Amino acid sequence: SPVMIDGVALNGPTLDVSAAEGFIQQSMAIIMEDAVRKATNVREKVCEWRSPEQLKELLDLELKDGGEAQSKILQRCRDAIRYSVKTTHPRFFNQLYAGMEPYSMVGSFIIEAIKPSLYTYEVAPVFTLMEEAVLKKMMEFLGWEEGGDGIFNPGGSVSNMYAMNVARFHHCPDIKELGLSAVPRLVMFTSQECHYSISKAAAFLGIGTKNVYVVPSDKRGKMIPAALEEQIKKAKNEGAEPFMVNATAGTTVLGAFDPIEEIADICEKYNLWLHVDACWGGAALLSKKHRHLLKGIHRANSVAWNPHKMLMACLQCCAFMVRDKTGLLQRCHSARASYLFQQDKFYDVSYDTGDKSIQCSRKPDAFKFWLMWKALGTSELERRVDRAFAMARSPEYANVCFWYIPPSLRNMPESPEFWQKLHTVGPAVKERMMKKGSMMVSYQPHGDKVNFFRMIIISPQASREDMDFVLDEIDRLGQD
Ligand code: ABU
């Protein structure tokens, strides 16, 4: 007879594992067919566009009291895949990530099946060691011969925020306990082309967006070192305290690399923390041919680098690394929760890495990169990076930025009316390509430039024919 407590039967498990297994197997078959085979087939659509209203109807989103039959749930899985954008499709050029990476994907599946949280060695022994190994290898590519410290984070924006927090703590350690009232007006420096996460982090951390001094960039989008020095002097003359410079290796729109070596000289002169946001451009370090773009990165105090971008690890996979080896990351963020980080454990508690993080639960994202790196080897990663560079043939990186001039504008002089009309071409062509589902390329205005296309080349599945297709398709879609 059932053991009842508070009206709830407690004897025996209520999860039918063999039914769960059957469901997982059937859903895996759908994933293989729809999310892997079809999604990466160049003859299939990149997206099946529906408006939010249409999609709400199609997906029947309301959550109800009763559960549904498995066959219905399997159909829901198919629909979720069908109406999602296939970022693994060879003609998805929209973001700084793309393409299907099978080893990393299997790593993701394993993580979801095992469900570890990377705060203590006790619950994540394997993944703790893998994170350490991946960070060590990445630091070798940074040229940090003495090593350093680091953790993986949910997003490059978070890594940049870590950098700002650690740099500030390094500059005034009292801030952790005494807060903002204990510090003078702190100012940091970054280029006009930097990622918007710098400004967000300044707001979030109480630095203030107006205390992020913007340094002009040259035509290619690279920070001008002399202008950086000017800004530092200006801040000092105002009585503010400079504490950090953010250099970008691979800017989001233009793919530009700031001159790290020259910036490092200035940081050394003024005793400023140098952070390099290499979320996008870090992958170039794997290429003997292109690593010169990051010359001087070994002098950075911290680096953010996202293997989920050019290196194609599954989302998210974002490393934040500091050159410090004295435990700065831990001191800056630790809260010493005694229920989790007991100091009298039976193993070496330095392997409990969680207190370096501002999170509690943390996914072992490094595993997704470790598994693919093991499978492919450094040489294949390098080949992929070199291929993306060669395919893009862009002045800097894998960002190909261009205007498409439709027939009606081709004989028009470059007047304000011309630029105003050209500004409307990107959004119109984008709408047409998405509704057709043939490809995805991004567009944006930038500085004083009206909307232009930004095509990002990553996937080793994308071919020379796909490059031609993009140009022909924009020409087809752009007819007036
Ligand atoms: N975090 C930058 C990624 C945005 C983009 O793909 O353009």
Instruction: Note the ipTM here.
Output: 0.91
pLDDT above 90 covers a percentage of the chain that reads: 95
- Cα-to-centroid distance, 444 and ligand 1 (Å): 12
pLDDT above 70 covers a percentage of the chain that reads: 100
- pLDDT higher than 80, residue 200: yes
Report the residue among 92, 96, 197 best suited for mutation to probe ligand 1: largest number of ligand atoms under 8 A from its CB: 96
- Cα-to-centroid distance, 156 and ligand 1 (Å): 10
Confidence of residue 50 (pLDDT cuts 50, 70, 90): very high
Domain positions in the chain: 116-372
Q: Which residue's C-alpha comes closest to atom 5 of ligand 1?
A: 95
Q: What is the pTM of this model?
A: 0.96
Q: Which residue's C-alpha comes closest to atom 1 of ligand 1?
A: 156
Confidence of residue 14 (pLDDT cuts 50, 70, 90): confident
Report the residue among 153, 252, 454 best suited for mutation to probe ligand 1: largest number of ligand atoms under 8 A from its CB: 252
Confidence of residue 480 (pLDDT cuts 50, 70, 90): confident
Q: Which residue's C-alpha comes closest to atom 6 of ligand 1?
A: 95
Minimum-distance ligand 1 atom for the alpha carbon of 197: 1
- Cα-to-centroid distance, 84 and ligand 1 (Å): 18
pLDDT of residue 394: 87
- The mean pLDDT value for 184-188 works out to 97
- Cα-to-centroid distance, 253 and ligand 1 (Å): 8
Confidence of residue 12 (pLDDT cuts 50, 70, 90): confident
- What's the CATH architecture for 116-372? 3-Layer(aba) Sandwich (3.40)
- Cα-to-centroid distance, 233 and ligand 1 (Å): 32
Confidence of residue 464 (pLDDT cuts 50, 70, 90): very high
Pairing of β 241-248 and β 273-277:
parallel
